[in-house]
Chain A
Amino acid sequence: MVSTGRLGRAAAICGAILATLVFLFPVIYMVGISFKVPRDIFTVPPRWFSELTFDNYTSYFNQARILPRMLNTVIVAGGAAIISMVAGSMAGYALSRMRMRGAGVVAGLILASRAVPPIALVVPMFLVARRLGLTDQYITVILAYVTFLVPYVVWLMRAFFRSLPPELEEAAMIDGCNRFGAFFRIIVPCSLPGLVSTLIYCIILAWEELLFALILTNDKAVTIPVAIAGIAADTEHGGLWGPLSAVGVLTVLPVVVFALAVQKYLVKGLADGATKG
């Protein structure tokens, strides 16, 4: 893209590293705390370690049932993100292409549904789930998350699709594809960076959601943020910053690993030259 001189390039790389470090500083601090004994966490002046400990990782691992709850979180976040991506990107595509009357209104309504304060949604959702006997089930939490993810997917994907020239699928349709075929064979591959970014965003939002998870689950489907809130609000023992940071680190890791794994799809090139041929 924009050609930059060798010097500019080096400066940009340094800038990127520096910016990442600045943004990661609180995270590095958190990782530090997770290996500290409690008496080292609050000190004047701040000090790193008088001794290293893994207790924060081990002691609360069972206490807060981290492993099953992590699994729940993966199921819920993954399920919600996938459903939202499928439903939302199709709607986003339709809204970006179809010149139908009221498309703008529908797009607006979909997005504006996100303006409802979550507290107003969670109680009625709980009441309905209870009436259907669906509390404490994955599907309930997944559907709840889908409602807040879909509008974002629709909106973001609509923007990404709009930046693709319409000639792309027109060509495919002349070649005998129907709209669906054109969408899956041409549009989806061409907008991979957008799809992947949106997917990452969906997973992150579902990953750290607290309020709905808290109200809609009791035991079986409880997710990590609920466990974290429980440790944080422990007014019996106090000073739980070590375990809290440790759980914080543990919850961050899977998302970073996932993000690294999908990095290769976050590359430019697929859309390139597609219009030339």
Chain B
Amino acid sequence: MAPALVLLAGMLLYPIIYTVWVSLSDFDLSTFQPSGWVGWKNYEAVLADPGFLQSLKVTGVYLVVALPLQMVLGFGLAFLLNVEWRGRGLLRALFLIPMVVAPVVAGGVWRMLLDPLWGVVNYALGLVGVGPVEWIGDPTLAMVSLILIDTWRWTPFVVLIASAGIMALPSDVYEAARSDGANRWQTLRHVTVPLLVPVVAAAFVVRWLGAVKMFDIALAATKGGPGQATDVVNLYIYEKGFRGLEFGSASSMATVVLLITMIITYFLFRISRRLENRW
């Protein structure tokens, strides 16, 4: 345990302290260092910034829809992929690909697929008399598209972890269940699910932290638009910091996001701990 802590402490504490420090000071672009102490000024500005608040809201909507969708889909597919046959290994390996495609390329390919003029999706919809649909141009559908792309990209992660979890299930328990005369549903309910809870919880928490930080796909696919329809909070911070060079307010936003995420993560822990103990 010690090596992990040393690594993390060494690499993370300074950056975090630096960020908090920048968030409380005036950022001097000519030295790229924080200069004067300004107290809570940046925070006041950030919390009064409608763009930032809007991006938090957008992130919330995205998380609430995308995460459960990916978890359910992922575990479902993992069960499908668990059936033993010769092509299973190949399918599992192929299933990793969406995660590996660089976000810029993935975003671009999806933009092409969804384009109303030359996109394959709208072409197919056109054959059955629907469309053309403005997948990315319409504010609501842009969010749908973003969630769709993100789900395509990250469900394979859930599949990967869930498959390992399912495989690690000891078969003697099932034999015992069968000899007790349990039917398939009862086995699932009373054996599989309880044994999988730690893995489900871990996969969810890891996915949650990954999803909070998501901005590359949004940048590549929708640019956070139209307007702020898909402007997730990390994209908003990225653009403020890296494009607008507003490092003071970007740092304040980062600190606020860090706090919110830590609080929610804490509650997720509590819930997952309770679930683990219940079974």
- Residues of A at the B interface (CB closer than 8 Å) are 1-4, 9, 12-13, 15-17, 19-20, 23-24, 26-27, 29-30, 33, 41-46, 83, 86-88, 90-91, 94-95, 104, 106-108, 110-121, 123-125, 127-128, 143-144, 146-147, 150-152, 154-156, 158-160, 162-164, 191, 193-194, 196-198, 200-201, 204, 207-208, 210, 224-225, 228-229, 232, 241, 244-245, 247-248, 251-252, 255-256, 259-260, 263-264, 266-268, 271-276
**CA A211 – CA B100 in complex, angstroms?**
16
Min Cβ gap A270→B in Å is 9
Do A2 and B174 have beta carbons less than 8 Å apart? Answer: yes
Do A159 and B234 have beta carbons less than 8 Å apart? Answer: no
> Which residue of B105, B201, B241 has the most chain A CB atoms within 10 A of its CB atom?
B105
Pick the 6 closest A-B CB pairs, nearest first.
A115-B261, A159-B202, A120-B254, A91-B4, A124-B18, A248-B105
**CA A21 – CA B26 in complex, angstroms?**
52
**CA A266 – CA B163 in complex, angstroms?**
9
Do B172 and A276 have beta carbons less than 8 Å apart? Answer: yes
- Chain B, Cβ-Cβ closest to A255: B100
Do B7 and A150 have beta carbons less than 8 Å apart? Answer: yes
Do A259 and B96 have beta carbons less than 8 Å apart? Answer: yes
- B residues 60-114 near A (Cβ < 8 Å) are 77, 79-83, 85, 87-106, 108-110, 112-113
A-B contact pairs, 15 of them (CB 8 A): A1-B169, A2-B188, A26-B106, A30-B105, A42-B112, A91-B1, A110-B5, A117-B254, A119-B242, A163-B168, A210-B104, A229-B104, A266-B89, A273-B171, A275-B170
Do A29 and B77 have beta carbons less than 8 Å apart? Answer: no
- With A1-B171, A108-B266, A232-B104 already in contact, the answer to whether A156 and B209 are too (CB < 8 A) is no
> Which residue of A30, A114, A119, A255 has the most chain B CB atoms within 10 A of its CB atom?
A119
In the complex, what residues of A have CB within 8 A of residue B184's CB? Answer: 2-3
Do A224 and B164 have beta carbons less than 8 Å apart? Answer: no
Min Cβ gap B266→A in Å is 6
Q: How large is the interface on B (under 10, 10 to 19, 20 to 34, 35 or more residues)?
A: 35 or more
In the complex, what residues of B have CB within 8 A of residue A87's CB? Answer: 3-4, 7
- With A146-B11, A256-B100 already in contact, the answer to whether A275 and B172 are too (CB < 8 A) is yes
In the complex, what residues of B have CB within 8 A of residue A86's CB? Answer: 3
CB < 8 Å neighbour of A118 from B92, B104, B106, B234? B234
CB < 8 Å neighbour of B94 from A1, A162, A256? A256
> Which residue of B14, B87, B92, B266 has the most chain A CB atoms within 10 A of its CB atom?
B92
9-residue interface stretch from B41-49, B138-146, B154-162: B154-162
Do B120 and A46 have beta carbons less than 8 Å apart? Answer: yes
CB < 8 Å neighbour of A248 from B94, B102, B255? B102
- With A20-B95, A125-B11, A224-B102 already in contact, the answer to whether A197 and B161 are too (CB < 8 A) is yes
In the complex, what residues of B have CB within 8 A of residue A118's CB? Answer: 213, 234
- Chain B, Cβ-Cβ closest to A261: B93
Interface bits B237-269 vs A (CB < 8 Å: 1, else 0): 110011000010011011101100110011001
Do A104 and B269 have beta carbons less than 8 Å apart? Answer: yes
CB < 8 Å neighbour of A155 from B99, B113, B202? B202
Do A160 and B199 have beta carbons less than 8 Å apart? Answer: yes
CB < 8 Å neighbour of B98 from A23, A111, A196, A229? A23
In the complex, what residues of B have CB within 8 A of residue A274's CB? Answer: 170
- Chain B, Cβ-Cβ closest to A145: B11
Do B19 and A116 have beta carbons less than 8 Å apart? Answer: yes
In the complex, what residues of A have CB within 8 A of residue B85's CB? Answer: 9, 13
- With A160-B165, A200-B96 already in contact, the answer to whether A123 and B247 are too (CB < 8 A) is yes
- B residues 3-27 near A (Cβ < 8 Å) are 3-5, 7-8, 11-12, 14-16, 18-19
Do B15 and A121 have beta carbons less than 8 Å apart? Answer: yes
Do B1 and A244 have beta carbons less than 8 Å apart? Answer: no
In the complex, what residues of A have CB within 8 A of residue B247's CB? Answer: 123
CB < 8 Å neighbour of A163 from B8, B152, B199? B199
Question: Does B198 sit at the interface, judged by CB under 8 A?
Answer: yes
**CA A162 – CA B169 in complex, angstroms?**
12
Do A23 and B155 have beta carbons less than 8 Å apart? Answer: yes
- With A119-B250, A119-B254, A120-B19 already in contact, the answer to whether A266 and B8 are too (CB < 8 A) is no
**CA A118 – CA B214 in complex, angstroms?**
10
- Chain A, Cβ-Cβ closest to B126: A45
Do B101 and A27 have beta carbons less than 8 Å apart? Answer: yes
In the complex, what residues of A have CB within 8 A of residue B53's CB? Answer: none
**CA A152 – CA B201 in complex, angstroms?**
13
**CA A182 – CA B112 in complex, angstroms?**
53
**CA A252 – CA B100 in complex, angstroms?**
6
Do B168 and A191 have beta carbons less than 8 Å apart? Answer: yes
Min Cβ gap A117→B in Å is 4
**CA A119 – CA B7 in complex, angstroms?**
20
Do B83 and A33 have beta carbons less than 8 Å apart? Answer: no
In the complex, what residues of B have CB within 8 A of residue A158's CB? Answer: 198, 202
